[in-house]
Every structure is written in C-alpha cells, then in structure tokens.
Chain A
Amino acid sequence: MAASLSGLLKPWTPRVFLVRWSRYNPYYLEPEVRKEAYSQPESELSAEEKEQRELKMIRPIKAAASGVTSSVFSDPVLSKFINMMMEHGNKVLAREIMTQTLENIKKKQVEKYHKAPEGQKEEIECNPYTIFHQALKNCQPVVGLESIRKGGKIYQVPIPLSDKRRSFLAMKWLITECRDNKHRRTHMYEKLSQEVMSAFVHEGNVIRKKNELHKMAESNRAYAHYRWW
C-alpha cells in the first residue's frame, strides 16, 4: 500500500517544458545550424576552431530556436522582419505575407523584364531579395535624435546609432507605414511590395520620414555637444 501511495507523492512537473526562453545556465553553448560548418575537413580548421570543436563535444548545447533552419534559403534579415511583422504569435500568417510580398515584387519585375526591349533588359533588377535588402538599406537613418534634459529644458540632440538600431528603425517604419497610412482594402503584401519598390528607388513615405529625421538632426547640430557618451 505504501508503494502505490508514494507514486502520488512525486513533485508535480508540467507536461510541456518551455526550454528556449527559460534561463539557460551560461554553461550551455549556442547550436551551430549551418550545414557548411560540418562539411569542413579537419585540415582546414585553425587552432581556435579545433578548440571550439573540442569544447562542443564536452559541454551541453541549447535547443535550437524554431525560427532557425539549416535550409540554404534562410536569411537572418528576413527572419527578423517576419518576427517584427508577427502579431499574437501567428508566424504562419507573417511568413505567408512575406512570401506573397516577395512573389509580388518578382512578378512585377519579371513581367517588366519580358516586355522590355533587348537593350533595357539588363537594367531591370528581378531578384526580390536584393530589392528588399537594398530598400531596407535605403531606409536606414544615419543619425537619430535623443531627448536630453539640460538646465530644466529638454533638447533633441543628434546621436550616432548602432547598426542594429538602424536596421530595426528601418523595418519598424516600413511596417507601421504599411499598416497605418495605406488604403484599408488593399492586402498587406500589396502595400508592402509597393512600399519596398518605391524605397528601392528612393521614393515613398519611409524615405521621406528618414530624410525629415536627417533634416531635424542637421538643424539641431548645435546641441550635439550636450551628448556625454
């Protein structure tokens, strides 16, 4: 009788363990997802990489996140953008919108390509990925503004931005622009593709916003020395 009752006394553990966002012991190492890293032969590795391999054989490794794949088509910038577009954890929908956007851009460009005369065919960029990356680069601001309090008044001071912050701002502006300032009956992929295509040629509302920020920073150049870091 004691044997059967003691089975009920074990501590309660949940059925599903949330592993990835729990706090891993810093002892755990990050997983290596890329296929190329495993196909390198022994001779090509430098001393540090050999040490890393030894370490990985001993130490435990974190579980890989569900968003990373070892596919040859995976793109970290694209994954970040999809995560930023995602609402209520609906990654399927966000990815679907992204793929439809890329397909839409490619369709328009390829149609233009096939209708263009021979001389102009090389100038038309058909790759939606290069267009997307270039558009994001065009939208990135160079300097940002920070509110700094000095002598009771708040000044808008121009400050340098890190690369991460710049790319984040570009993506955020693109998404908010498409969500708020477009006609409500168009699909998100249609709005996004129009905005990306115009950002690619330095037109559109996002580029305009970036330029206005630059102008503000330029006009507040006198307060630049208020920054102490």
Chain B
Amino acid sequence: MLHLFYSSSSFDFPLSLSVETLHVDPKLTSASASFQACQSEKHLGQFYTLPSAHFRPLFPHGLPYRYQQQVKTFNEACFMVRPPALEVISYLKKADYSKPALRYLFYGVKGSGKTMSLCHAVHFCYTQGWVVLHIPDAHLWVKNCKELLPSSYNSARFDQPLQATTWLRNFRTTNEHLLSQIKTKRRYVWTKRESTDEGRPLGELVNQGISRVKSSSDVVGALMKDLRLQSSQPGADFRLVVAVDGVNALWGRSTIKKENKSVDLEELTLIHNLKKLMKNDWTGGAIITTLSQTGSLYTPKSAYLPQELLGETGFDSMDPFIPVSVPNYSEKEFESAYLYYLDRKWLQHPQSRTEDGKKELSFLSSKNPSMLDRICGFL
C-alpha cells in the first residue's frame, strides 16, 4: 500500500491521498513488482508501507529500538523513501555481478537515518530474493561479552557462543526459504562424533550451530565462507548481500577482558571471519555498511566522517568503497514526516497543528530525524 503525503504550500491543511493502492501479495514475486514501482525518484519524501508478511522475517534484528516501538504503536512499518537509499538501490540494480562485490558505506551525523537507509536497501535485496546476511550492530560483538571460550578450531582465538547463537537464530528466520535450497560445498567436522557432510542443505548447518552452542562461532565462520564461495561461482542461482551496521567496530578497540588482559580484535573468531567477508575478493553480491559513533568505543562524539571513525587500517581495508552521505531531512522530507505523524495521530498537542508549532518543531529538531521523533514523542 502506498501512502502519499503531499502538501502544497498555499494550503494550511495537509492533503493526504492514498493513491493507487497496489495489491500486495504475501508471495515475494508479485510483491517485488509492486515494490519496484514505488522506488523511483517521483516518490522521494513519501512513505512506503512494508507488508507485514515481510516485516516479521526480515527484521528480527537490525532496526533502531525507537522505530521498533513506533511500529508496535502504529501497527504498521513505514519507511520514508530518501535519496541515499534510492541511490544505493539504483546502483544495486545496475551493478555487474560478475565483478568483485561493491562496498557501500552510509555515513552521517547522529540520528540522520543511516540504519534506516541500510534496512531499506536490505528490504530491496530481500524482495529480489537475495540471501541476506545482516549483522545488526558489530559493536555488540566487541563489548560486554559475558562468555568467552577458547576456540576449538584455532587455540589462539576466542569464541563468543551467546552472540553467535542469537545471530544464527535471526539469520535462520530471515532466510528460511532459501536455506533449504543452497547446499554446502565442503565437509565440516565439529567434534569426534559430529560432522556436516558435503551437499547437505545450509539449514542443517545453521541448526547445528544453534543446538551445539560451543561450536556456534565456528558455524558462523563456515557459513560465511560457504556463502562467499558459492555466490562467486558463475552458476550460482542466488546473490549475497552483506549488511553490517557499525562497521567501524571491526577496526576499533574492544573492551572485552580475559583474565584482566584486554582481548585484541584479531583474537575473536566472529570479528576475524567478518573481516574476511568485508574484503572484495568475492563476486555475485554486494556489501552495504553503516558507520556508527553511538556504539563505538574510544571515539569522540563529534566524529562522523569515514576517515575519523574507520581509522587508518579500517579505511585502507575498506578502500575502494562508495561513500553515501545521509543528511538530515530536507524541507520536503520534514513536511512529509510531520504529515505522517499527524495522520497516525501521533502529534496530539493542539498547538503542534499550527504553523507556529511546526516552525518550532523544525527549529528544535534542526530537521534531524531522531530528534524530531523524540520531540514529537511527548507532544
């Protein structure tokens, strides 16, 4: 369903029309046709509603917390069509997938909508039937680790079973329909009695990781390697999208301590495998990432540019990448967000419906999406 929020400057009241209610089927194929109709530059600033059949499997993790609460309150999930996400989607449509994977990086000030743009691009890939490897926040893997086990595969490294199992569970929810079709290419031996043979569906591998918590980090590594190798082959019938939020965590510092000695990032299996994925030596997919200062460790609050947050090593490893800047709302986008809140009965204060109130909102939030959301929360 496409809601168009459109106000002309001469009128005081918003004109909200719901034009061309496209019938959205739960099945992916027909939904992708209607979804593509909505992703053009004519629809900049307007809201696109996610079908509820897509929302549950796609986003068990990865959305900002306040947005999840908003979805629960309004009983629907709406994304605003904004230029950064549209740009990345147009590149994804035109890219040559026989060449090495392109790396896209969303950057911007705090609260400008980087995670939402990432989720928008991921939803596009999901409708195209790609395999989605979405890491909700890489910072969560480098801090506050409750359990750290020495890795069974490589004795110098450390495993993080809890984080790995939660991630595998969410991965399974997202890619359920594709896991039974893709087969493993190698034989993996977990313990003396357990192994996964070649040619078994990937779903089995994932279930193995979830049930055997001790080897879950190794399962994650094996999964990433398998998917990477398979999508590179010319005969592969799927494409892989790797979406990482807070990618600057991979080259920063960690606060995990093992026996009062801080753990180096290279010694964590999950981070090691993720860094291997981020290299553009595989084909048949795309890597979409976001920078994030809020979760990052030992970085100043004012830093938001790629050079500052990735550091030297990070920038050199990510180079070459396509930086996409995510600015605050423009006038039109702010109008649209304001009208959306009015329509969903979120702006209740009588003064917020006046011109003066709107000007005050624009000033107080300085058109920053998250600040506008926080201010409209109590108005």
Contacts and interface: CB of A to CB of B under 8 A. Distances in A.
Q: Interface SS of chain B: helix, strand, loop or mixed?
A: helix
A107 B346 CA distance: 8
Interface stretch (A45-53, A111-119, A200-208): A111-119
A73 B377 contact: no
B79 interface: no
A126 B348 contact: yes
**Chain B residues touching A, range:** 20 to 34
Contacts of B72: 111
Contacts of B180: none
A129 to B, nearest CB: 6
Given A110-B344, A129-B349, A73 B379 contact: yes
B29 interface: no
A72 B378 contact: no
Contacts, number: 50
B16 to A, nearest CB: 16
A107 B73 contact: yes
Looking at chain A, what size class is its interface with the partner chain?
20 to 34
Contacts of A115: 75
A62 interface: no
A106 interface: yes
Contact of B357 (A35, A72, A110): A72
A73 B346 contact: no
B351 interface: yes
Contacts of B352: 73
A73 B357 contact: yes
Interface string B348-375: 1111101011001000000000000000
A99 B377 contact: yes
A102 interface: yes
Contacts of B357: 72-73
A103 interface: yes
Find the residue from B348, B350, B377 having the highest chain A CB count within 10 A: B348
A102 B378 contact: yes
Nearest to A107: B73
A106 B348 contact: yes
B73 A114 contact: yes
B345 interface: yes
14 contacts: A71-B360, A72-B351, A73-B351, A73-B360, A73-B379, A99-B378, A102-B378, A103-B377, A106-B378, A110-B74, A111-B72, A114-B75, A126-B348, A127-B350
Interface of B: 69, 72-75, 344-346, 348-352, 354, 356-357, 360, 377-379
Interface of A: 35, 71-73, 98-100, 102-103, 106-107, 110-111, 113-115, 126-129
- When A and B form their complex, which 7 residue pairs have the shortest distance between CB atoms, in order from nearest? A99-B378, A127-B348, A103-B377, A72-B351, A102-B378, A114-B75, A103-B378
